[in-house]
Structure 1
């Protein structure tokens, strides 16, 4: 299948909501996301409008989607967060330099193995490395999420040695991986 990889538009909040809820129903969701389906589905429309708007402007975040043909169903997504030097990240760690972080990675099961994840990551990384001062893209992967980690390694990400406790289960860790611009 042919996919259009593009940034989400602010008015596409309904499709953004549908894809996020699908991601949160995936069996890997407890390892991959820090949000539950029950919490997300309870959010009002205004929450989803704001989320889509923030992910569409491209100054602090940009969400890429894999659209099946022009105007088709969204089969995957990744969000790029721009982290500024001196800020504190989600895990409470100080950000040392301007960088990007990939979050909310999801490909529908029926689209896995089709190249969608590669295309999404290529677009996200290209956009991030096009930002002034960004020479590093990072992500975190749960220690038990081997499928995701395998893809990240194949794409070129390597472990940094950094890890943080998983917020939902402090006995588990989220391992930091990075890709540096050559």
Structure 2
């Protein structure tokens, strides 16, 4: 779905499909250089990272393995409970592997910090992070992000995997959702 198809729902377009593709290509070149001679395990965080993971993996010119995790720290509310639950665990053993967590967006950093530590305790040789977006003004825990696409304002964004009530994930870009949609 094109951003123009829902322009009445967006107050601003942050990134077009082409801008995202260009950024992922740039990040892929860095990842290829850093993982030359290795076969990294890319771990996508469901559901939001599906688009980023798919396009990044297709852009990479190295062999890799892919797996998925789903984690939650929200429970039934909209505020983090502080307790992270694994909803879907990896099918792959990370022991001795170089792991690259692929995320759509970093808000508080709490869940991602927990996930990175969790994978390290499982014996991963290294755990790095690749995130398309980060909200610096929302970060509560400093998480080392080796591969970062864009810093964005602390706004409600949708598209390219990011949703509001499971809608807008399939937008080909990222935009700020207008308050009239969710208020």
User: Greater helix percent: which structure?
Assistant: 1
TM over 0.5: no
Question: Normalising by structure 2, what TM-score?
Answer: 0.28
Question: Normalising by structure 1, what TM-score?
Answer: 0.28
